[in-house]
Structure 1
Amino acid sequence: MTSSVPTFEEEISPGRVVTMPADGTGLSVIDPWLKSHNDALRERYSIFKKNDEQIKNTLGYEEYTQGWKYYGFNVQKDGSVMYREWAPNAVTASLVGDFNNWDVNAHVMTRNKYGVFEILVKPLAKGKVAIPHGSKVKITMTMPHTNERIYRLPAWINYVTQDLSVSATYDAIFWNPEKQYVFKNPRPKRPASIRVYEAHVGISSPDPRCATYKEFTKNILPRIAYDGYNTIQLMAVMEHAYYASFGYQVTSFFAPSSRYGTPEDLKELVDTAHGLGITVLLDLVHSHACKNVADGLNEFDGSDHCYFHAGPKGRHELWDSRLFNYGSFEVMRFLMSNLRYWMDVFNFDGFRFDGVTSMLYKHHGIGYGFSGDYNEYFGDNVDDEGVMYVQIANHYLHTKYPDVVTIAEDVSGMPGSCRPVREGGLGFDYRLSMAIPDMWIKMLKEESDDDWKMGHIVHILTNRRYLEKTIGYCESHDQALVGDKTLAFWMMDKEMYTNMSDLTPLTPVIDRGMALHKMIRMVTHALGGEGYLNFEGNEFGHPEWLDFPREGNNSSFQYARRQWNILDDPLLRYKYLNEWDRGMQLTEEKYGWLHDGQAYVSRKNDGDKIIVFERGNVLFIFNFHPTQSFTDYRVGVEHAGKYKIVLNSDDKQFLGHGRVDNSTDFFTSPGDWDNRPNWLQVYIPNRTCLLLARN
């Protein structure tokens, strides 16, 4: 490092401060294996700086990120409505709707040199808004050369509805209610330990229909709070024409889905969650867009390259969708404004960025198997503009909102994903540990319990980049979709229909499934990351899979729902799994292992099927053996003293067998054991986990 390169001091872990170069190569100070890629890191950072400076020196971030106050519909003090749209390919444009009887000549828009059309619609009567609330509206444009007239939904529209009795195509609605929701509760502080409840409003009723924001607020938020989750990741909020896309084919980026209610209803949901101390994240789709033309962004101004890349570069072959042109100033403005819109207008607390792998690489991850070779993360593989957008977005969000949370859904594990942008990182707070659920499903499908390798489990659960935070999970929505099964269903299958009643004998299949369900979740929670995620319903072992209404199932809602009724039935055994899940969250809240750094694993014995580790001043002991219990099993521990059981999966309140006395005192003895300075002895029954803490 030469003295001419500016540096900065960074505390990379408690008490450890390092000096980093301010040229984007700070990552190689943390990970020396990256030094051979310093030139690429410098180039990556210079692209970020160039775009960062362009924003600052033109509009400035404050105006650039509030595009919805310039574009779209904005009501003026006198009731006039200013409407603007960016459509550079169009020759003429008019605003049409119910309010002017769809007359293309009534409100002709003017165009500036940047391809922005605008019109100020004046009110017909004093004190009245020029466009009535609830009016249907569209922009109509004529094309160059052909003079063809096209009709589109406004790109910045904040509410769209679907009248299936008329057409499957969405209508844009001018949303300007007299009574708008007023937020009452402040945002919660960013959780030290993030425990995420991944939820979908539409499936949140036991009835075979689409549930609403109001129902979620009334019925589901109290369940989430009771279970001890401090964060909700809300799926499928951005409007999507195809319900079965799970919200990942977005058509209107500024419109909360009208399937579940109004924008005011969503605000109430977020505000109520905040009142319960719960952080709310939006499942954000900026990696691609639905290819719909009539009610999406595709061919918005008649060209194939308004918001997207032209030609094959602008199409995702696997997802059959359009890819944003992150190198465009106006497209970036649209997306950056979209981030701030959800933060400022709806009070979301952050985002889970979907499809990050597609954004970072030119191959979009299609048919590409990442091996961990650092060369895969640099050079021709990488989409520099996609990387730049992710860096700009994260840098801005964390500067503007100090408590914001951003999570990357990325299968590649790009180095620096969860390090600050000024180090050369992407700036996310967390990355989802996508290998963990794959491991559990593979083991349950392909291996007998006797063949489970404790070392392999520990390796997958702890295999993450140094100083980069991850969120561990056993199963997300991906593992619940039709064609796969939840973990509970993999283990108990058809017996969940016949043997989940307390009035029936506990069969070996149910006994095994309940025991392993608890253990798999606990070891993942405690060892798998700096955060934990659960998909709605899986906390109590929701049976079956998830399948949205579609042509292939006769548009049935049978599997597009959550069966809360089976949890609430006091005679059914699902309640035991729910109480165990609650026990995990509340115990973590007390001891804080998720934010305590990586665990020290002292034992991973394949013969005994025992895993022992310490984290957050808790001693975790797992016995995965299908039949063998161990008396006076010796385990190593760092701190001497008296230990007590703080959570026990064999407790009868969790449908265990009650083989361990929770009032037992465990006293340490000095002496090296498993490289720990003290040891104690426990009775650890088969298929049981115990959590001990010093009394």
Structure 2
Amino acid sequence: MPATATTAVTGLHDADLDRILAGAHHDPHGLLGAHRTGDGRTVVRALKPLAHSVVAVRDTGERAELVHQRDGLFAGTLPGEGPYHFLVDYGDGRALLHHDGYRFPPTLGEIDLHLISEGRHELLWRVLGSHVRTLDGVTGTSFAVWAPNAQGVRVMGDFNGWDGVAHPLRSLGSSGVWELFVPGVAAGTRYKYEIHTRDGRLLQKADPLARATEPPPATASVVHVSTYDWRDARWMARRGGEDCHARPMSVYEVHLPSWRPGLTYRELADELPAYVARLGFTHIELMPVMEHPFGGSWGYQVTGFYAPTARLGDPDDLRCLVDAFHAAGIGVILDWVPAHFPKDDFALSQFDGEPLYEPSDPRRAHHPDWGTLEFDHGRREVRNFLVASAVYWCTEFHVDALRVDAVASLLYLDYSRPPGGWSPNEHGGHENLDAVAFLQELTDTVRRTAPGALTIAEESTSWPGVTRPTYEVGEDGFGGLGFDLKWNLGWMHDTLRYLAREPVHRAWHQDDITFAMVYAYSEHFLLPLSHDEVVHGKGALVAKSPGDWWQRRATLRALYAFMWSHPGKQLIFMGQEFGQGDEFDHDAGPQWWVLDDDWPAHADHRGIRRLVRDLNRRYLATPALWQLDADPAGFAWIDASHAEANVVSFVRRDADGRPLVVVANFSPVVRTGYRVGLPGAARRWREVLNTDAAEYGGGGVCAPGPIRAEPTAWHGHDRSAALTLPPLGVVWLHPVGEEAEEPVRDKNEYECECEDEGEEDDDA
């Protein structure tokens, strides 16, 4: 082709410049910056739109005034060798120093690109996204993004007036990664990527690997550098050597933005850990804290899989909150959502103009329940993106467990889809083989890279082996999914259905309250009474049972004592610890005012909270309630068949065989002289917990002193006792002399920089 004027001066074809200016060039570094010519000269090209003049200057003093070619392209011949910079005048007579980002080599190495292509880069956030770096004495920010279908990528932000023309990224070959180092860009800078699609569109996208964002509804990514100094080394060292199945776990689930509406992460750190510790919970579960555009999704429609929501502060503020929990002796569980993502234009949806994070088949891509897009778990780069996200939260934020949301929707190709709305797997079945492989990789990788961090599955079906090791193949031909715990949603549904019936009808549905023990040891379970049970018109827990206010409160107390003594760990949602009457409102938060003295039923609500506190304290002090959760030797029915009385009784044992007897009366009548068989040879027992105690708001139907175990055989035991069972109440019995001491919380010998224990609460 004939040389144009531009070609004659710069050696650059107009067609190449046109592609750069359009944001559609794959290799701007091959054209911009300094380049040796065949005759030994060095041609320097700078793209500086709106500049009046540009001078290139060597560090050794040589300089050349570059000639404006067109559309902001300046070019000239620079004598000498070595580093250089630009002096740029925008017409006001001031010469601004600009370092040239196009003279630096890629910030990703060949090993990084190979691992990304193989889907095996477990530290993906360290190479993709934005990172403040110093290269050859020049400080700036490197940007790297995966967009394999793009024709070109530019970065735009505060540093260039949100016009990316001057900052096109280069393609790093078949990896699909685009990269650029921009000198002078510092932490706190907002940015987005401008992506030129194969069909000629320009899309503005937030960074999928951004580690910080601006507060919604704004959607830009933010360059972030963590300066947080962790103080939980003892905690982190200890968590790797514990067996979660043989230790207590009692979980308080929280939606951070609404626990105390308006509080930031650091303000929450001053209040929430102390509150949870006083109530005796061992763990807190945070509903998703990743960035999300719609607050009403409670975080379950994520757009920033590596960025905490900026609504409550920056990433280091969240680190401070986690540190404060650890200082209070509380583990942190984080909800994590790898099943789907929203369709917002600025985020992952058709990220480079075509399906990328989602499957190309629309039948697979669109989730019919939530109006979202599903991830393409069969694509190795997408699996890598998600697995690295899990590792990121467990390592960079010291999270102790991930609760993986909506696992059932991952496992089945026909989940919520009608006939004809899905296609079978390669074997003709409905199992999503790609998702199975992803979940196995996830659990194995987290276990290996973050010792002691747990994975917990919210899985609502009977998929076998959810908590079986991935290397153990079951009769179904699948290896286990490798989770540490699984939510027992069957127990939750059955128990709430039982308690929702009028007591007179419960006699015909006794199996609802007992059936969970049929499969209790098929998986490692956690019993959840989560936010899902108190939203969307379901009402609060206290409102689910029939009867008057007194009966409902009594039933709730009985439910909690039954739950805490049942095999499995336990979880309740905020506000339910004091029996609030309304369902979850993410704008208003918990109904704290019902605990105030001027609320008519304040004593009732305080009583429920005292019970939860005492359940946790007694639970921690009683190894029989958790030490053999994974062993059938830790549980035995005393009587599960007295359906007409609405009574069940059972015994829990610890590793040394020490028993705790539990008797639950789910009828609203006092049962006097109710004989229960008692295990062992102990002659005296006493109530260590009674949900009808006056301090909990009950009627005070309690044993006045030690209970005598008579030599009367009953329920297959040599000894028994005639008990007085409170109405809608649960009692726990210990042999006299075998009660455990009250627990002392194991607190690390350090204080978080933002921790405030707060004042002791008489009610909590």
TM band (smaller chain)? 0.7 to 0.9
- 1:420 maps to which of 469, 476, 479: 469
Q: Residues of 1 paired with 2:320 and 2:607: CA distance?
A: 32
Describe the SS at the equivalent of 1:380. coil
Match of 1:180 in 2: 228
Deviation at 1:668, TM superposition (A): 4.8
Per-residue CA deviation, residues 303-355 of structure 1 (Å, 9 max, x unaligned), is 12345444221111111111111121211111111011101111101100001
Describe the SS at the equivalent of 1:250. coil
C-alpha contact (below 8 Å) 2:558/2:691 kept by paired residues: yes
Q: Residues of 2 paired with 1:685 and 1:320: CA distance?
A: 48
1:138 partner amino acid: K
The TM-score with structure 1 as length reference comes to 0.80
C-alpha contact (below 8 Å) 1:612/1:635 kept by paired residues: no
Q: Residues of 1 paired with 2:330 and 2:482: CA distance?
A: 23
Distance change >3 Å, CA 386–CA 351, structure 1 → 2: same
Give the aligned CA root-mean-square deviation in angstroms.
2.7
Q: Residues of 2 paired with 1:425 and 1:561: CA distance?
A: 39
The TM-score with structure 2 as length reference comes to 0.73
Match of 2:286 in 1: 234
C-alpha contact (below 8 Å) 1:193/1:595 kept by paired residues: yes
C-alpha contact (below 8 Å) 2:665/2:728 kept by paired residues: yes
C-alpha contact (below 8 Å) 1:450/1:626 kept by paired residues: no
Matched, 1:564 2:577: no
Identity of paired residues, percent? 24
C-alpha contact (below 8 Å) 2:319/2:397 kept by paired residues: yes
Match of 1:526 in 2: 565
Q: Which runs of 5+ in 2 are unaligned?
A: 1-110, 473-478, 654-658, 738-764
Match of 1:14 in 2: none
Q: How does 1:41-120 map to 2 (within 5 A)?
A: 64-77=121-134, 78=137, 79-114=139-174, 115-120=176-181
Match of 1:589 in 2: 620
- 2:719 maps to which of 666, 678, 681: 678
Deviation at 1:681, TM superposition (A): 2.8
1:267 partner amino acid: R
Deviation at 1:444, TM superposition (A): 4.6
Deviation at 1:405, TM superposition (A): 1.5
Deviation at 1:687, TM superposition (A): 2.1
Q: Residues of 1 paired with 2:142 and 2:681: CA distance?
A: 67
Match of 1:612 in 2: 649
Per-residue CA deviation, residues 413-454 of structure 1 (Å, 9 max, x unaligned), is 211111111112110111111123323443454544453457
- 1:136 maps to which of 187, 190, 199: 190
2:329 partner amino acid: G
Q: How does 1:118-157 map to 2 (within 5 A)?
A: 118-122=179-183, 130-144=184-198, 146-157=199-210
2:592 partner amino acid: W
Distance change >3 Å, CA 60–CA 250, structure 1 → 2: closer
Instruction: Select the structure of larger CA radius of gyration.
Output: 2
Distance change >3 Å, CA 678–CA 379, structure 1 → 2: farther
Match of 1:316 in 2: 367
Deviation at 1:591, TM superposition (A): 1.1
Q: Residues of 2 paired with 1:418 and 1:367: CA distance?
A: 29
Q: How does 1:265-284 map to 2 (within 5 A)?
A: 265-284=317-336
Distance change >3 Å, CA 539–CA 639, structure 1 → 2: farther
Q: Residues of 2 paired with 1:139 and 1:450: CA distance?
A: 62
C-alpha contact (below 8 Å) 1:539/1:581 kept by paired residues: yes
Q: How does 1:344-383 map to 2 (within 5 A)?
A: 344-366=395-417, 380-383=429-432
Matched, 1:329 2:380: yes
Deviation at 1:91, TM superposition (A): 0.6
Q: How does 1:614-629 map to 2 (within 5 A)?
A: 614-616=651-653, 617-629=659-671
C-alpha contact (below 8 Å) 2:211/2:308 kept by paired residues: yes
Q: Residues of 2 paired with 1:389 and 1:395: CA distance?
A: 10
Q: Residues of 2 paired with 1:61 and 1:348: CA distance?
A: 27
Per-residue CA deviation, residues 532-555 of structure 1 (Å, 9 max, x unaligned), is 11111101101211234xxxxxxx
Q: Residues of 1 paired with 2:536 and 2:388: CA distance?
A: 35
Per-residue CA deviation, residues 555-602 of structure 1 (Å, 9 max, x unaligned), is xx3xx3112232354853211000111111111111131332342112
Per-residue CA deviation, residues 52-85 of structure 1 (Å, 9 max, x unaligned), is xx99x95799971100111011222442322111
Distance change >3 Å, CA 243–CA 623, structure 1 → 2: same
1:687 partner amino acid: L
Match of 1:410 in 2: 459
Q: Residues of 2 paired with 1:569 and 1:526: CA distance?
A: 32
Distance change >3 Å, CA 385–CA 639, structure 1 → 2: farther
C-alpha contact (below 8 Å) 1:67/1:334 kept by paired residues: yes
Distance change >3 Å, CA 531–CA 679, structure 1 → 2: same
Distance change >3 Å, CA 565–CA 219, structure 1 → 2: farther
**Aligned residue pairs, count:** 590
Q: Which runs of 5+ in 1 are unaligned?
A: 1-53, 123-129, 369-374, 493-507, 549-556
1:611 partner amino acid: V
Q: Residues of 2 paired with 1:61 and 1:601: CA distance?
A: 52
Per-residue CA deviation, residues 158-210 of structure 1 (Å, 9 max, x unaligned), is 111236xxxx3422122236x435344533635512111111101112xxx44
C-alpha contact (below 8 Å) 1:87/1:116 kept by paired residues: yes
C-alpha contact (below 8 Å) 2:116/2:381 kept by paired residues: no
Match of 1:162 in 2: 215
Matched, 1:635 2:677: yes
